[in-house]
Structures are given as C-alpha cells and as structure tokens.
Amino acid sequence: MLDHKDVLYAAVKARDSRFDGRFFVGVSSTRIYCRPVCKAKRPKIENCSFYGTAAEAERDGYRPCLLCRPELAPGRAVTDASASLALRAARMLEDNCGGGEGIGEIAGRLGYTCRHLRRVFAAEYHVTPVMFLQTCRLLLAKNLLTGTALPVLDAAMAAGFGSLRRFNALFKERYRLTPTDLRKRAAGGGGDKRGGVTVALGYRPPYRWDALLNFFAGRAVAGVETVAGGRYFRTARLVGAGGKRADGWLCVGDDPDKNALSVTVSESLFPLLPQVLARVKRQFDLTCDPCAVYETLSRMNGIRRGLCVIGTRLPGCFDAFEMSARAVLGQQITVKAAGTLAARLAEAFGTPIETGVPGLARAFPTPEEVLSLGDGVEDRFGALGVTSARSRTIYELAGAFARNGAAFDYCARPEEEIGKLTRIRGIGGWTANYIAMRAMGFTDAFLETDYGVKKALRPYEPKELPALAENWRPWRAYATVNLWNSL
C-alpha cells in the first residue's frame, strides 16, 4: 500500500476514515506526522512521506501532530498483517509497554528466539522492537498528558518509564518540546468524580455502539459488570510483569463526534494502565475495519434485506477466563440463567472491590482461585446450582488458562487452540468456537449449530449452513453477530 503515493495522498485529501491507523503521513515542511483524517491545512504531495507505523515516522525525525493526535489512531487487525508473528509481537509490546517486559521475554512467550523476532519485526515494521516499544510508551504518555490532569511523573510511570529523567530526555529528543510544554498547549483534564481519569481510544466509523452495548448488557455478570446510562462499567483485577497486582474499576462510553471511546480508569489501576487499555481495545473491537468486513458480508443482504449492517463489531471480552467460564455455564440453558449462575460464583469466590458504582462490587474468581478448590470444586459449585459436569469442566478450563493464558490473548493459530479446547471434557464445538470468537478475536469462527444462527437463516436447512458460510470468510464471526442482531 505504501508504494502507491497517489492513492494515499487521495485518502489524505478526502480525510478518509477507512485509512485511519493504516498509515501516517509525515510533512517535511513542518516535520510533523499526522493521521490521514487530520483537519489541518492539506500539505502538498511533494512534502509528504508515508509510513505504516508511528514508530517509522518518529525514526525519521517527525513529531506527532497536536491536532489529530496520532496516539488516538485505531490499531491494525490480525488479518491486516502479512506476518502474524510481527503483529502479535507489536500487540504485546503495546499492551505491556508499562510492565517493563523486555524483548527477550516477549519472544519467549511467543515461542521464538529473540533474534528471529527482531528479524521478522524489522522486515514488517522497518524499525526495531525496542524503538517500537519506545514509541508506544511515548504516545501513551502523550495521550495522558494531553487528555488528563495526571501529574507528569504519574503519566511517565503509567506509560512504562522507570525514570522521569529518561522520560523527559526521550520526549524532548523525539518531540522537540518538554512534557510540561505539551501540557500547556493541550486542554487536558479528563476525570471522574469517583477518582479516575479518562483517556480516549479511537475507532474507524461507522461503529454500532448501541448494538454492542446491548450484547454486553444481556450477558453482564451482576456485581462484576453493568450497563447504565449508555455506558459500560466493570471491575478489574489484573496481574502485571513481576507479579504486580492492581484492583479497580473502569467505565467505557462512546464519543461519536470524535470517533473514539472514552475510557475512565480508577486510580488504583494506573500501574497497569496499558494492560487495561489493551483489554478494552479487544473487548470493543477497536482494530476492526468495518468497510472491509462489509465488502464481503454485504452479500448476506441477498438472503434477506438488512441482514448485515455496516459497523457491526465483534464483541470481545475484558477477562477471557470469566467469559469462558460463563460460556460453559450457559450450555443448554438460557442467557439469563447463565448470568445468574455466574453472579453466584462471583459472589461466593470473587474478590470484593470498592468502586463507588452501584451494583459493582466484586471481581470474578481467577483461574488460580478456582484451581485452589481442588477436588472440592464440584461440591462448592454444586451448592450454587452448577452441575457436577460443568463444575469439572470449569476446573479443567482454569487449568488451561493458568498454564497458557497468553494463547487466548495473542493467539497465532486459533484453529489449534479450538482443538485443544474440545479435548476438555464438556467443551464441544459451539463452546470452543464461541470462546475463540470472543477471547481470541478469531474473525472466522462460525457457530453453525447455534440456535439463533439457524433461526436467522431460515428457510435454509442446518446441513446447508457450512457451505453458505464459506462465502463469508474470513469474517464468519462478524456474520454470526449480524445474524444474532437480526433477531
């Protein structure tokens, strides 16, 4: 794409949101780099250089625009990358930039040598992993300095800088102004009366916020998450690098005028802020390119008008184990009944968390807490109305998460993980694909045996659905969500 300068410049002229986050444009006359949707005066084409990542633009000496704020640009989806290893590494660097995790540790988690990861990463992104990580930290800090009232020191620490001196030096070197100078130029101060700060995360429009919010509302675990006033609230209990723990709450709302979600995070979660924001991005599918999805799935409207609606997002999850356990609880019972059982588990075995939000008081039990119940899990869960079979399935699922939780967050081969899940007694094809769709972000998962899918596709016979869905690859998970929404 970057070889076609005329095409990219046309996107800049049109301020085409479909290209937002797919490339950045550096302007030689100002030495500033922008998003293609920037509302500043349009530069001349001869002054433009185009880059696939912000790190590449900064490598060449450009500093981020204060108007369009490149740190708010949507990310890339897994299906966008020619090298999935490089993309997974990039996501891990971005998600854990505040945790102090090194390149060698990330390579080990992905199952590759550090040398191989550096080679693949440089071929895909044209910068080293270290420089990419530095850019992630700088842009997160810039977001906090511009959009919140956090002190400079707190912003630096939350973004992963262990030294204020190092942060100030790198910030001035890259951006040619100090963090204090940036704050003076910005109108920051996003906050919340309960003691949190609010940051923005961009998306590509259109974005069907209400449909996604309704999905989460219908499956909310009482005490752990809730939807109120057009916003999503939940508790969070996280563990970072080195065993660093943080408990707190967060709130997510939509800001359609800015094509962004507003994410309010409690002060107690600041030490793991990059991890919180990464989970929000996955849960609310912020890397999606709705036009690319609709280009393939629009043919669904030949079956019935309005069956596919552009802007539909794939509902992810904030806590993969929580969602997976709830999926097991929901087998062969109603959505409401599954929510009741999940709420009982949270009440009995979850951790109390002070939030100040009505109805939000506990974190769902972690895999380790479930495993600590040992052989007594069936009796303990059974007292809450969970069958012995499902109690044992959740216990074995907890073991899988405890051994290899990264396989769910940064999945390279979802089909293989689906196969591993189905080897757990009590997890069939529907449950495994549902977990892959929501926890792994597997865009091609298809729930052909799902009652809602079969109902939405009548009068097609169930045996006809797999062949019909072949036309919807690689977006069959989005097709599934559109079919659910059509009901």
In a domain, 297, yes or no: no
What's the pLDDT score for residue 82? 46
The answer to whether the CB of 410 falls within 8 A of the CB of 88 is yes
Question: How far is Cα 390 from Cα 382, in angstroms, rounded to an integer?
Answer: 9
Among the candidates 47, 72, 97, a domain finishes at 72
In a domain, 87, yes or no: yes
In a domain, 9, yes or no: yes
Question: How far is Cα 46 from Cα 33, in angstroms, rounded to an integer?
Answer: 14
What are the tokens at 306? 């309005």
Helix H, strand E, coil C: the string for the chain is: CCCCHHHHHHHHHHCCHHHECCEEEEECCCCEEECCCCCCCCCCHHHEEEECCHHHHHHCCCEECCCCCHHHCCCCCHHHCCCHHHHHHHHHHHHCCCCCCCHHHHHHHHCCCHHHHHHHHHHHHCCCHHHHHHHHHHHHHHHHHHHECCCHHHHHHHCCCCCHHHHHHHHHHHHCCCHHHHHHHCCCCEEECCCEEEEEEECCCCCCHHHHHHHHHHCCCCECEEEECCEEEEEEEEECHHHCEEEEEEEEEEEHHHCEEEEEEEHHHHHHHHHHHHHHHHHCCCCCCHHHHHHHHHHHHHCCCCCCCCCCCCCCCCCHHHHHHHHHHCCCCCHHHHHHHHHHHHHHHCEECCCCCCCECEECCCHHHHHCCHHHHHHHHHCCCCCHHHHHHHHHHHHHHHHHCHHHHCCCCHHHHHHHHHCCCCCCHHHHHHHHHHHCCCCCCCCCCCHHHHHHCCCCCHHHHHHHHHHHCCCHHHHHHHHHHHC
Other Cβ atoms closer than 10 A to 222: 17
Boundaries of domain holding 39: 5-72
Q: Is 450 assigned a catalytic role? A: yes
Question: How far is Cα 397 from Cα 431, in angstroms, rounded to an integer?
Answer: 12
What are the tokens at 204? 């590509």
Neighbouring-strand partners of residue 363: 351
Residue 34 and residue 127 in one domain: no
Q: Which are the contacts of 84, defined by CB distance < 8 A and separation ≥ 6? A: 78, 412
What are the tokens at 37? 């949707």
From the candidates 60, 154, 255, 450, which is the catalytic residue?
A: 450
The answer to whether the CB of 63 falls within 8 A of the CB of 458 is no
In a domain, 48, yes or no: yes
The phi, psi pair for 232, rounded to 5°, reads: -105, 130
Residue 39 and residue 107 in one domain: no
In a domain, 402, yes or no: no
The answer to whether the CB of 88 falls within 8 A of the CB of 112 is no
What's the pLDDT score for residue 418? 92
For the chain, first and last CA: distance in Å? 39
Which of these, 184, 218, 192, 162, lies nearest to 452 by C-alpha position?
Answer: 218
Residue 116 and residue 166 in one domain: yes
Question: How far is Cα 197 from Cα 270, in angstroms, rounded to an integer?
Answer: 9
What are the tokens at 93? 């660097």
The answer to whether the CB of 417 falls within 8 A of the CB of 408 is yes
How many domains does one find in the chain? Answer: 2
The answer to whether the CB of 286 falls within 8 A of the CB of 257 is no
What are the tokens at 267? 């002060």
The answer to whether the CB of 312 falls within 8 A of the CB of 483 is no
What's the pLDDT score for residue 304? 94
Among the candidates 72, 102, 124, a domain finishes at 72
Residue 51 and residue 87 in one domain: no
Question: How far is Cα 213 from Cα 285, in angstroms, rounded to an integer?
Answer: 12
In a domain, 326, yes or no: no
Question: Mean pLDDT by 10-residue block, N- to C-terminus, for the chain (487 residues)?
Answer: 82 91 94 95 94 94 94 76 70 76 76 86 89 93 90 91 93 93 72 73 96 97 96 93 86 96 94 91 95 95 96 96 96 93 97 92 96 95 97 96 73 83 95 94 93 95 95 96 96
What's the pLDDT score for residue 189? 54
In a domain, 335, yes or no: no
Residue 68 and residue 82 in one domain: no
In a domain, 373, yes or no: no
Among the candidates 72, 88, 110, a domain finishes at 72
